Amino acid sequence: MTASFDYGIAFSRNIGWVTEAEQAGLRVRRIAIAGLGGVGGSHLLTLTRLGIGQFNIADLDVFEPANFNRQAGASLRHIGRPKVEVLAEMALDINPELDLRTFPHGVSADNLDNFLEGVDLYVDGLDFFAVTIRRQVFAACAARGIPAITAAPLGMGAALLNFLPGKMSFEAYFRLEGEAEDEQLLRFLLGLSPAMLQMGYLVDPTRVDLANHRGPSTPMACELCAGMAATQALKILLGRGKTPAAPWGIHFDAYRNKLALTWRPGGNRHPLQRLGLYVARRRLGRQISQGTQCAIPASETPLTPMEQILDLARWAPSGDNTQPWRFEIPSERHLVVHGFDTREHVIYDLQGRASQLALGGLLETLEIAAQGRGWRCDIHRRKDLPETRPTFDVKFSDTLTEPHPLEAVIRTRVTNRRAFSQRPLSSRERSALEASVGAGYRVVWLEGSATLRRMARLLFANAEIRLTTPEAYTVHKSIIEWNSQFSQERIPDQAVGLDPVALRLMRWAMQSWKRVCFLNRYLGGTLLPRLQLDVWPALNCAAHFVIVAEQPLQAMDDYVTGGRAMQRFWLTATHLGLQFQPEMTPLIFASYIYNDVVFSQRSRSLAQARRLTSQLEALIGREACQQAVYMGRVGFGSVPMARSLRLPLSRLVLPTVQHEPS
Ligand SMILES: Cc1cc2nc3c(=O)[nH]c(=O)nc-3n(C[C@H](O)[C@H](O)[C@H](O)COP(=O)(O)O)c2cc1C
């Protein structure tokens, strides 16, 4: 049943903020909107609800899944349909009496005359990167005396500029003439938003990709743009209130709770703008020369089920992000995992145990990912190969089981080395974590303020060994990627857990062992990192935990199986919304003591490790200490902004070789 439409009733709730006469005025106005993407679609719907009676709308695009986060009209049933057609339907559904002229080929120099014919106001909805046509439309508006509004969604806010007849023009403000495209985009961005309120919370700058015309966006910003632009439209069309025109601009940022009214006489020629442009150019240059990495690169789309499984499994954790595995795919249902370890050069990989735990984590992740593709795994380690080359044959067969609930968090599981909240675990969370390790393991919890303080003292002592042992220095030096938020093969310095000042100091010191010694001896160099990396996080968490095997850990397979328990526990923690940090070095130093292995030429380090082992035994018991598989802390907190990434599949998958039968 179609309800009858009455303009007066449909827009009656506007009355009060506008008079009946003004509403009638809006009904006969024509607004042109070019571009119906992020902001354009919302402009059309908002202005339609305001009661504007006539529109010229232009867009040449169709809806696709990547539009879903922000674009009005983007939904499953509209995939592949022209935006102009869908938005016209949606607007007509609000006001069937609309006089709507559509331009399905978009706006171009050829149809500008038609597009602006009889138009009272132009509202810009063009893609941020469409600079050339935007300049043409604004120039055409200026030539015809049509007021024009542009509102840019920036972060979680909106920046708006009005270009009014007789006032500063778009071209005079932005000064784009004769500039290269990148420079035009920078000028457009900085001109739109001189206050740059959004920059403080751009958590992943690598997602701003000017070269490939891609940038992050939010639905809130688009809606704010529509609200701000429609308000200006109302004022311009009804001649109400003060309407700021360029070089005045308005930037409201809902995230920062801030409003900035900007004034840049001369537009981008203004000294502040020039300075801003200088800084932005340098940043962009650096970004291009460093070859930015996205947290989860979108480029490689895995095709086969096997590739999809490996693409997920590669996100398993490994000590210092070494990723001690390579893959070989002899057939569609057969995978070989070629493991290795780093015992030769990594002090934290005693007998390759840390690498074996990581391999266990990888196998567990493989199984979880395979289940989502309707496959089950049959895994066998090749027993004829040395322990330094743990190699596994994984055969896949069909299963009817549902996808594993932990699959959803494989990619988001992450190491968080910052302080968490002290909110304790609920009994539900604790039971879920205890159940996750499975038969053969138990979880020892270390919690409560007195125990947390003991843990902090223990980790403080442990950190001294880490930071003053020369054999550990070489490892730390090679695993940190400096000046990075993300790192494919190492740990980015920003994920280490130090504040920027301590990080600078550490970067300086880590250049040579001599510097480290100088800092340690004369400037109390270990104090700051120990407080930031060990004591503070140790005190700020829900609990520390130790996963303990019921039987003594003897052979490599025990560690691989232990690694599977570790990964189930870690993924479960992520699933529960908990943050997680491994704290493995006390266990590693203790195993050096148990195995009577001299791990350093520095005798003080050995004595410290002995003391540390006794302290740990006093905390969790000797048996738990000897049979401990994994140790760490969990708690509630914000997700880290910096993290380790993984090598792409193209580097992890080896060409298939003829291998000996096992
Ligand atoms: C066996 C093992 C031991 C680890 N030991 C520590 C540790 O002692 N301290 C720490 O901060 N991270 C530790 N990690 C975390 C790794 O550094 C981290 O998993 C790796 O850099 C990948 O980063 P992601 O977990 O954020 O994906 C360990 C991970 C594994 C698998």
pLDDT (tens digit per residue) in 184-198? 988 999 999 898 899
Give the side-chain half-sphere CA count within 13 A for 267.
Answer: 20
228 and 339 part of one domain: no
Does residue 96 carry a pLDDT above 90? Answer: yes
- Inter-CA distances, 313 with 367, 400, 413, 542, Å: 9, 21, 12, 28
d(C-alpha 592, C-alpha 471), whole Å: 14
Percentage of the chain modeled with pLDDT above 90: 81
* Model confidence band, residue 203 (pLDDT cutoffs 50, 70, 90): confident
Does residue 296 carry a pLDDT above 70? Answer: no
Cβ-contact 139, 222 below 8 angstroms? no
Mind listing the pLDDT tens digit for each residue in 103-129?
Answer: 999 999 999 999 999 999 999 999 999
* Model confidence band, residue 567 (pLDDT cutoffs 50, 70, 90): very high
From ligand 1's centre to the CA of 497, what distance in Å? 13
CB atoms within 10 A of CB 8: 12
Mind listing the pLDDT tens digit for each residue in 265-287?
Answer: 999 999 999 999 888 887 766 65
268 and 349 part of one domain: no
Both tokens of residue 416? 């968080």
Q: Is the CB of 358 under 6 A from ligand 1?
A: yes
Both tokens of residue 20? 């009946």
- Scored b (16 or more CB within 10 A) or e, 141-161 reads bbeeebbbbbbbbbbbbbbbb
Does residue 371 carry a pLDDT above 60? Answer: yes
Which among 200, 306, 312 is positioned nearest to 571, based on CA atoms?
A: 312
283 and 309 part of one domain: no
Give the pLDDT score at 260.
95
493 and 572 part of one domain: yes
Which among 314, 346, 333 is positioned nearest to 399, based on CA atoms?
A: 333
d(C-alpha 624, C-alpha 552), whole Å: 9
From ligand 1's centre to the CA of 129, what distance in Å? 40
3-state secondary structure 18-42: ECHHHHHHHHCCEEEEECCCCCHHH
CATH of the domain at 269: 3.40.50.720
Is the residue at 336 inside a domain?
yes
- φ, ψ for residue 486 (rounded to 5)? -135, 155
Mapped onto helix, strand or coil, the DSSP state of residue 52 is coil
Where do the H-state alpha helices sit in 480-535? 500-509, 513-522, 527-530
Q: Is the CB of 584 under 6 A from ligand 1?
A: yes
Instruction: Output the average pLDDT for the chain.
Output: 93
Give the side-chain half-sphere CA count within 13 A for 376.
Answer: 6
Mean pLDDT for 458-486 is: 91
Does residue 18 carry a pLDDT above 70? Answer: yes
What residues make up the domain containing 340? 305-650
* Model confidence band, residue 661 (pLDDT cutoffs 50, 70, 90): very low
**Which of 225, 258, 288 marks a domain boundary?**
288
478 and 384 part of one domain: yes
Is the residue at 299 inside a domain?
no
Cβ-contact 330, 308 below 8 angstroms? no
d(C-alpha 487, C-alpha 403), whole Å: 30
Give the pLDDT score at 285.
64
Where do the H-state alpha helices sit in 193-218? none
d(C-alpha 361, C-alpha 359), whole Å: 5
Q: Is 655 exposed, middle or buried (0-12, 13-18, 19+ CB in 10 A)?
A: exposed
Is the residue at 95 inside a domain?
yes
352 and 481 part of one domain: yes
Does residue 413 carry a pLDDT above 90? Answer: yes
Is the residue at 20 inside a domain?
yes
d(C-alpha 275, C-alpha 196), whole Å: 13
Cβ-contact 525, 468 below 8 angstroms? no
Q: Is 514 exposed, middle or buried (0-12, 13-18, 19+ CB in 10 A)?
A: exposed
Does residue 579 carry a pLDDT above 70? Answer: yes
From ligand 1's centre to the CA of 321, what distance in Å? 7
615 and 526 part of one domain: yes
25 and 103 part of one domain: yes
Mapped onto helix, strand or coil, the DSSP state of residue 12 is helix
Give the pLDDT score at 48.
98
Q: Is the CB of 632 under 6 A from ligand 1?
A: no
Is the residue at 637 inside a domain?
yes
Mind listing the pLDDT tens digit for each residue in 596-634?
Answer: 999 898 899 999 999 999 999 999 999 999 999 999 999
> Residue type for 644, please?
S
The protein residue whose alpha carbon is closest to atom 10 in ligand 1 is 582
d(C-alpha 310, C-alpha 303), whole Å: 11
Give the pLDDT score at 287.
57
538 and 474 part of one domain: yes
d(C-alpha 548, C-alpha 553), whole Å: 10
3-state secondary structure 251-264: EEECCCCEEEEEEC
Q: Which atom of ligand 1 is nearest to the CA of 645?
A: 27
Is the residue at 204 inside a domain?
yes
Give the pLDDT score at 657.
65
Tell me how many domains the chain contains: 2
CA 630 to chain centre: 27
d(C-alpha 344, C-alpha 296), whole Å: 31
**Which of 242, 259, 288 marks a domain boundary?**
288
From ligand 1's centre to the CA of 356, what distance in Å? 13
Which among 50, 65, 62, 56 is positioned nearest to 13, based on CA atoms?
A: 50
From ligand 1's centre to the CA of 633, what distance in Å? 12
- Inter-CA distances, 381 with 225, 328, 334, 389, 564, Å: 58, 14, 13, 10, 14
Mean pLDDT for 160-175 is: 96
From ligand 1's centre to the CA of 539, what distance in Å? 20
Q: Which positions ≥6 away from 285 have C-beta within 8 Å?
A: none
Give the pLDDT score at 286.
60
Q: Is the CB of 615 under 6 A from ligand 1?
A: no
Does residue 445 carry a pLDDT above 70? Answer: yes
Give the pLDDT score at 430.
98
Is the residue at 131 inside a domain?
yes
From ligand 1's centre to the CA of 388, what distance in Å? 20
368 and 499 part of one domain: yes
Give the pLDDT score at 238.
97
Q: Which positions ≥6 away from 289 have C-beta within 8 Å?
A: none
- φ, ψ for residue 51 (rounded to 5)? 100, 10
Give the pLDDT score at 660.
47
Q: Is the CB of 318 under 6 A from ligand 1?
A: yes
The protein residue whose alpha carbon is closest to atom 14 in ligand 1 is 319
3-state secondary structure 567-636: HHHHHHHHHCCCEEEECCHHHHHHHHHHCCCCCCCCHHHHHHHHHHHHHHHHHHCHHHHHCEEEEEEEEC
Pick the range with the lowest mean pLDDT from 302-306, 408-412, 417-421.
302-306
357 and 217 part of one domain: no
The protein residue whose alpha carbon is closest to atom 19 in ligand 1 is 317
Does residue 474 carry a pLDDT above 80? Answer: yes
CATH of the domain at 519: 3.40.109.10
Q: Is the CB of 462 under 6 A from ligand 1?
A: no
Cβ-contact 495, 644 below 8 angstroms? yes
Which among 37, 89, 40, 32 is positioned nearest to 57, based on CA atoms?
A: 32
Provide the edge-to-edge strand list for the sheet that holds 157-163. 99-103, 54-58, 30-34, 121-124, 148-154, 157-163, 248-253, 258-263
284 and 379 part of one domain: no
Cβ-contact 62, 82 below 8 angstroms? yes
Is the residue at 1 inside a domain?
no
